[in-house]
Amino acid sequence: MQVLSLALLGLALLGLAVALASAKPLRGMCRDSQLVFPEGERISAPRPHEYINVEDLPTTFSWANVSGVNYLTRSRNQHIPEYCGSCVAFATTSSLNDRMAILRRKAWPEINLAPQVLLNCNAGVSCEGGNAGPVFEHIHRNGVPDETCQNYEARDGECTAMGICETCDPNKGCSPITNYTLYYVAEFGNLVGVDQMKAEIYARGPIVAGIDATDKLEAYTHGIFSEEKILPVPNHEISIVGWGVEDGTEYWVVRNSWGTYFGEEGFFRINMHENNLAINSQPAFAVPAFHKNVSAMEPYINLGAEITAELEARAAGRLFMHRTVDMPAFTSHQFAEGSLFDPATKGKAVRHNVKSSHVVSPLPHTYLTPEDLPETYDPRNINGMDYTTANRNQHIPQYCGSCWAHGTTSALADRIKLLRKGAFPDIQPSVQVLVNCVTANETHGCEGGDPTAAHNWIYENGIPDETCTNYLAKDEVCNAANTCKTCSPETGTCTAISDPPKLHIAEYGQVAGEHNMMAEIYARGPIAGTIAVPPALETWNGQGIFNDTTGDVSLDHEIEIAGWGVENNVPYWIIRNSWGTYWADTNWFYLIRGTNNLGVEANCDWAVWDGKMPYVNELPVPQA
């Protein structure tokens, strides 16, 4: 009778815990309490724990630092611009983004899948919560595009053609894009126990897992988290990117989706074996695929070991060969005339010859001669690795003429990544904060602006990263909440983050002329430049070198000039745009160099990061 009573008490406590978890508003109960695969797991190759001896795994390992190289993609915030319980969408896509970066050895371009498409299509997740199993099933069947097709809006949208991939025009409104790239999942399943989790992370990349997000976890700032709780029930989804040990305590390295102002640069560390809020109870994985109906990754893959060996060989100057990846070519897409943007309403980089600068160090063209510069320079491929940051699309979810803010922040982000040699983490300055706040030199947000004014504003105020204020493609009031905020699941209200992390620049200025531009780029990184946009460029397919023959030099569009090259004796600039990866060569194009084509060599801007990381609590990254 006593045994029966204890059993009934246990069942009652379990039921109470589930009921409380279901009713609990903290973080919006953004994850179902039980992981499910409605159509069953999809396993077609040996799983890492079946061929890797866990005793052979390193004591510490993190995909943020494999022999000094960071394979993790950018951090995110599910709770802006309004509260949305979309943790499952972010955990699953972040895990897949990281796995694709690992599988492709950080080759260009960085791929960031669109959580908003999963919300729009109710693909196992909504703003009211979700489940990783159905998400992986949806991606396996239907695929998902990258985020330049659909920016995150923190809302449940509609699963229409425009809800999957769109572009917007100031006169014609928004319309669907049909020629875009989809990414898939080949395999998915669950994991049981720490050994299986470690083997999967090491061999194929980050995994997802549920956790009981408590008040104490929400208040986490740094260190190895531990909390004793009776019958913890997962209500939040995260991804696990590695593990470590400190003072004899093993811990998981966990990526969250609450912004970089949370915890240690948006991450947290948690006790691996006990008092860890059920993080080991329901982990899962998915294997990305670059084509539909791919059955499996190559069997017996062990990316952790392979990449470590490759990097060690490279450091020692030895040749090595790594596995090839069957994936789509990141090249051009052709559009019909006028299908993207109205040439009469391009928008808009405003140049009023109101110059502003703060120069404190020698300019590169004063100490680098043309002979000092290489024939080609491309930060997308330096020793096989990509040192550029994420691609963007200024024209969604509605049209916004914010090229002036995109060109400047992309160039600055790439400069920071180059200066830090690609170390964790990538930092993406907030475009939206510039749209909201910059007013100098007749800058008017989505109606156009001045890149010099953008740099001046950053110099005077600092700028937060994208997880403080994500891109909305609309003008908002410049205040504390629209600079950095979080939104509450309990009330739905959004509040400013006090003293948010901001990055600063030490100097900024202008540069013009082919040699001066090349010297600036080679010494300190990409620059922002202003060009004309004739109709032929808007519909450019990305193949070959663009050469305008109309003589158009009406400067009205801002881009990033990242490098240069020569093809068949024709010199060209390597340029990043902000029109989405479905435009031209994955949002990039090549422009004839040395003739001031489109006015590209007349007005350029640069800024130099001050070298100080903006985050109060940095993530200690164990090196594999």
Report the alpha-carbon distance of residue 226 to residue 272 in Å, rounded. 9
Give a three-class secondary structure readout of 24-49. CCHHHHCCCCCCCCCCCCECCCCCHH
- Per domain, the residue ranges of the chain are 58-304, 349-609
pTM given for the model: 0.92
Whether the per-residue pLDDT at 91 is higher than 80: the answer is yes
Whether the per-residue pLDDT at 13 is higher than 90: the answer is no
| pLDDT, average across residues 568-589 | 98
Q: Report the half-sphere exposure of 563 (CA within 13 A, side-chain side).
A: 18
Report the alpha-carbon distance of residue 578 to residue 517 in Å, rounded. 21
> Tell me: the pLDDT tens digits for 143-154?
999 999 999 999
The two tokens of residue 460 are 């005077």
Do the domains 58-304 and 349-609 sit in the same CATH topology, yes or no?
yes
Starting at the earlier edge strand, list the strands of the sheet with 505-511: 505-511, 604-609, 527-531, 557-567, 570-576, 588-592
What is 376-427 written as a DSSP string? Answer: -B-TT-BTTB-------BTT-SS----HHHHHHHHHHHHHHHHHTTTPSPP-
Has 236 been annotated as catalytic? yes
| pLDDT, average across residues 233-259 | 97
> Tell me: the pLDDT tens digits for 93-143?
999 999 999 999 999 999 999 999 999 999 999 999 999 999 999 999 999
Residues 571 and 594: beta-carbon distance below 8 Å: yes
**Class (C level, CATH) for 58-304:** alpha beta
Residue with tokens 């449940």: 156
Q: How many CB atoms are located within 10 Å of the residue 222 CB?
A: 15
pLDDT interval class at 313 (50, 70, 90):
confident
> Tell me: the pLDDT tens digits for 486-535?
999 888 899 999 999 999 999 999 999 999 999 999 999 999 999 999 99
Mean per-residue pLDDT of the chain: 91
Whether the per-residue pLDDT at 296 is higher than 90: the answer is no
Which one is catalytic: 84, 87, 121, 604?
87
Burial of 309 (0-12, 13-18, 19+ CB in 10 A): middle
State residue 624's pLDDT score: 67
Which one is catalytic: 49, 79, 138, 236?
236
| pLDDT, average across residues 257-281 | 98
Which one is catalytic: 256, 276, 482, 597?
256
| pLDDT, average across residues 195-214 | 98
> Tell me: the pLDDT tens digits for 392-429?
999 999 999 999 999 999 999 999 999 999 999 999 99
Has 168 been annotated as catalytic? no
State residue 1's pLDDT score: 41
State residue 294's pLDDT score: 80
| Percent of the chain clearing pLDDT 90 (strictly above) | 84
> Tell me: the pLDDT tens digits for 46-71?
999 999 999 999 999 999 999 999 99
State residue 341's pLDDT score: 37
Residues 481 and 496: beta-carbon distance below 8 Å: yes
Residues 333 and 542: beta-carbon distance below 8 Å: yes
Q: Which range among 13-22, 232-241, 298-307, 324-333 shows the weakest confidence by mean pLDDT?
A: 13-22
Residues 521 and 563: beta-carbon distance below 8 Å: yes
State residue 293's pLDDT score: 84
State residue 26's pLDDT score: 44
Domain range 349-609, CATH architecture = Alpha-Beta Complex (3.90)
Give a three-class secondary structure readout of 96-151. HHHHHHHHCCCCCCCCCECHHHHHHCCCCEECCEECHHHHHHHHHHHCECECCCCC
